[in-house]
Amino acid sequence: MKFYCSKAMLQHAVQAVQKAIATKTPLPILTGIYLSAANNRLELQTTDYDMAISCSIEANIEQPGKAVVSGRFFQELVRRLPGETVEISSNQEDSTLRISCNSSNFNLLCFPYEEFPVIEKIQTSTNQLTLKDNVLRDIIKKTVFACATDESRPIFTGGLFEAENDSIKMVGTNTHRLALKQDIIAPVELPAKMIIPAKLLNELARSLSSDVPVDVNIYWEKGHVAFEFDDIYLKSRLIEGSFPDYNRVIPAKFDTVVFFDTHAFLDAAERVSLMAKDGDYNIIKFRFEQDMITLSSNNPDVGKASETVAATMQGPGLEIAFNAKYVTDILKNLGSDKATLSLNNPLSPACIRPADSEKYTYVITPVRTS
Residues found near a copy of itself in the complex (CB under 8 A): 70, 73, 76-77, 80-82, 96, 103-109, 267-268, 270-272, 274-275, 301-309
Contact at 8 Å (CB) between 321 and 343? no
CB closer to a copy of itself, 32 vs 158: 32
* Beta-bridge partner residues of 110: 69
Least gap, CB of 339 to a copy of itself (angstroms): 18
Least gap, CB of 25 to a copy of itself (angstroms): 17
Task: Using alpha carbons only, give the angle 94, 98, 100 rounded to the nearest 5 degrees.
Answer: 155
* Beta-bridge partner residues of 138: none
CB closer to a copy of itself, 75 vs 256: 75
CB closer to a copy of itself, 271 vs 287: 271
For the four alpha carbons of 251, 257, 263 and 265, in that order, the dihedral sign comes to: negative
* Beta-bridge partner residues of 228: 217, 233
Least gap, CB of 271 to a copy of itself (angstroms): 5
CB closer to a copy of itself, 77 vs 136: 77
- Residues 301 and 316: their CA atoms lie apart, in Å, by 34
Q: Report in angstroms the alpha-carbon separations of 320 from 297, 324, 344.
A: 12, 12, 10
- Residues 229 and 210: their CA atoms lie apart, in Å, by 10
- Residues 41 and 54: their CA atoms lie apart, in Å, by 12
Q: Report in angstroms the alpha-carbon separations of 336 from 132, 203, 260.
A: 21, 24, 11
CB closer to a copy of itself, 95 vs 134: 95
Least gap, CB of 105 to a copy of itself (angstroms): 5
Least gap, CB of 101 to a copy of itself (angstroms): 9
Least gap, CB of 148 to a copy of itself (angstroms): 27
CB closer to a copy of itself, 44 vs 295: 295
